[in-house]
Chain A
Amino acid sequence: MSMQLWVVQTLNGLQLGVMLFLMSAGLTLVFGIMNLINLAHGSLYMLGAYLAATFQALTGSFFIACLLAVPLVMGIGMLMEMSILRRLYDRDHLDQVLATFALILFFNELVRMTWGPQAYFMAIPESLSGTVEILPGIPYPAYRLTIVLAGSGVAVGLYLFIGRTRLGMIIRAGATHREMVGALGVNIKLLYTFVFGMGAAMAGFAGMMAGPILSVETGMGEPIMILAFVVIVIGGIGSVRGAFAAAVLVGVADTFGRILLPPALSSMAIYILMAGVLCFRPQGLFPAHG
């Protein structure tokens, strides 16, 4: 295999990895801290893509669209938490799966009614439409490289936020001792709404970034949700660090699986990876609860 193929495929793997990270970071926090399985996380991804595409069409600017769509998805996520999901924290996982699956159907239908059944077009912003020569003689699409950089930036920001700030400390404390955090004067409900909003914003951001390279259509969130669940299980539920490591691992394994393995095996690659990791580390790579 040529050097060029290796470099390009590694970057493709990283790009899928950071996308998966943006999706799974919120998922793993919500699952780890609130003990909620939220299947509808992919709907926020879809809404991010649709809203950004719409704002881009209205304003003509991808960046303004980003500035509008991400906070809006965050707000929608927080409303969703306050109105529906909050009632599910104390229920068992089956109830949560049923209720959030219903939300998927609801959002898919809502999008179909609002934007119509056909895929919605979203253009790559002009300034990022070219290619960048990452190594001499190896061009790579600038937009995809931007995804890698922006996603990594969000990952670093989230890591610092969780690791260094007081709110981050409270979030980590709440993951293991929720009641105690409340008994020390922290409003847990507000904290949960905020954490959920953060996860929603990242999912919306991922959807928005995916918009120009995938098709913006109803149900676009579901395939990536399945991968995101694989990621949080491999990474260790509740662990942001684990989600990042696992997302990159899954992204690269999936990308290289497609070019190195026969088709029948390549579609199984990440599940084999998951089984392998769980065999040796049943709690995932970075168990959050020590």
Chain B
Amino acid sequence: MLELKNIHSYYGTTQALFGIDIEIHAGEMVSLLGRNGMGKTTTVRSILGLTRPRQGTVTFQGRDIFGAPPYRIAQMGIGLVPEGRQIFPTLTVRENLVATAYRGKNGRRPWTPADIYELFPVLAQRTRQPGSRLSGGEQQMLAIGRALMTHPKLLILDEATEGLAPRVRAQIWDCLENLKSAGLSILVIDKHLDALTRICDRHYIIEKGRIVWRGDSFKLKADPAVRQDYLGV
């Protein structure tokens, strides 16, 4: 579904990615692991065209999206839940959901705000509140809802549960599992290995801009050395 090959990205003159290869198949949930500053967010930005890679290929559903503007890539079906949530603070909860929502003609039933409220009932009570008033957990739920409303085929979550209470975290993981079983492909960045090895199919570990390890959950659980070397756990 999504394939990154030999991606090299820079911030100004500083190279951040050195030939990243990542592949995500339809219906798969894949994690991208690594310590801070190793290039996880840059990888996400490179997929969406927010940071334009200098070299490499990116294909999504068989189409070349390398160098395309972010809005095109998003329209093709990649939904982003960004680091820091980036909720629109001056828009209400409902407006956050509908402002950038997908309006399809192809008969596929789009996500509606009601579906999102069903997924995250706590948002239903706050539809008219501005985004800036929400707690961190509510903002994350809203960010996921907002991304779903764009009708993604692939959902990318950069720091899915960072700074959230355990109870909220569990809710987010449940939600992602449900979305996955409904057929959505998911790329998730997070630090909670236990949850990730439980719900993800495969994992990539990034270190200083390179993919240094890849494999399934079974292999990751069985390899404490990898976890210690690259993830510090």
Would you call B24 an interface residue if the criterion is a C-beta within 8 Å of the partner chain's C-beta atoms?
Answer: no
A-B contact pairs, 20 of them (CB 8 A): A166-B98, A169-B99, A172-B88, A173-B88, A173-B91, A173-B100, A177-B86, A177-B88, A181-B99, A183-B71, A183-B74, A184-B74, A184-B79, A184-B146, A185-B100, A186-B100, A187-B69, A290-B89, A290-B90, A290-B130
Q: Which residues on the A side are within 8 Å of B80 (C-beta)?
A: 180, 183-184
Q: Which residues on the B side are within 8 Å of A289 (C-beta)?
A: 90
Cα distance A172–B98 in the bound complex, in angstroms: 13
Mark each residue of chain A from 183 to 199: 1 if its CB lies under 8 Å from any CB of chain B, else 0.
11111100000000000
Which residue of A172, A183, A188, A288 is within 8 Å of B91 (Cβ)? A172
Binding site for A on B (CB under 8 A): 48, 50, 69-71, 74-75, 79-80, 82, 86, 88-91, 95-96, 98-100, 102, 130, 132, 146-147, 150
Cα distance A183–B88 in the bound complex, in angstroms: 13
Assess A182 versus B70: contact at CB under 8 Å? Given A170-B99, A170-B100.
Answer: yes
Q: Which residues on the A side are within 8 Å of B132 (C-beta)?
A: 290
Residues A183 and B50 in contact, CB atoms below 8 Å apart = yes
Would you call A179 an interface residue if the criterion is a C-beta within 8 Å of the partner chain's C-beta atoms?
Answer: yes
Q: Which residues on the A side are within 8 Å of B88 (C-beta)?
A: 172-173, 176-177, 180
Cα distance A184–B74 in the bound complex, in angstroms: 6
Cα distance A186–B150 in the bound complex, in angstroms: 10
Cα distance A177–B48 in the bound complex, in angstroms: 16
Of all A-B residue pairs in the complex, the 5 with the closest CB atoms, nearest first, are: A184-B100, A185-B74, A169-B99, A173-B88, A180-B86
Q: Which residues on the A side are within 8 Å of B91 (C-beta)?
A: 169, 172-173
Assess A183 versus B70: contact at CB under 8 Å? Given A172-B88, A176-B88, A290-B132.
Answer: yes
Q: Which residues on the B side are within 8 Å of A182 (C-beta)?
A: 50, 69-71, 74
Q: Which residues on the A side are within 8 Å of B90 (C-beta)?
A: 172-173, 175-176, 288-290
Cα distance A290–B130 in the bound complex, in angstroms: 11
Given contacts A184-B79, A185-B71, list 11 more A-B pairs with CB under 8 A.
A172-B90, A173-B100, A176-B89, A179-B50, A180-B88, A182-B74, A183-B48, A183-B71, A183-B74, A184-B150, A187-B69
Q: Which residues on the A side are within 8 Å of B95 (C-beta)?
A: 169, 172
Q: Which residues on the B side are within 8 Å of A177 (C-beta)?
A: 86, 88
- Residue from A185, A288, A290 whose CB has the most chain B CB atoms within 10 Å: A185
CB distance from B188 to the nearest CB of A (A): 17
Tell me the nearest residue of chain A to B96, going by C-beta: A173
Cα distance A166–B149 in the bound complex, in angstroms: 14
CB distance from A240 to the nearest CB of B (A): 12
Residues B82 and A183 in contact, CB atoms below 8 Å apart = yes
Tell me the nearest residue of chain B to A179, going by C-beta: B50
CB distance from A50 to the nearest CB of B (A): 37
Tell me the nearest residue of chain B to A238, going by C-beta: B90
Cα distance A169–B94 in the bound complex, in angstroms: 10
CB distance from B107 to the nearest CB of A (A): 19
Q: Which residues on the A side are within 8 Å of B147 (C-beta)?
A: 184
Q: Which residues on the A side are within 8 Å of B50 (C-beta)?
A: 179, 182-183
Assess A186 versus B71: contact at CB under 8 Å? Given A166-B98, A169-B99, A170-B99.
Answer: yes
Tell me the nearest residue of chain B to A181, going by C-beta: B100
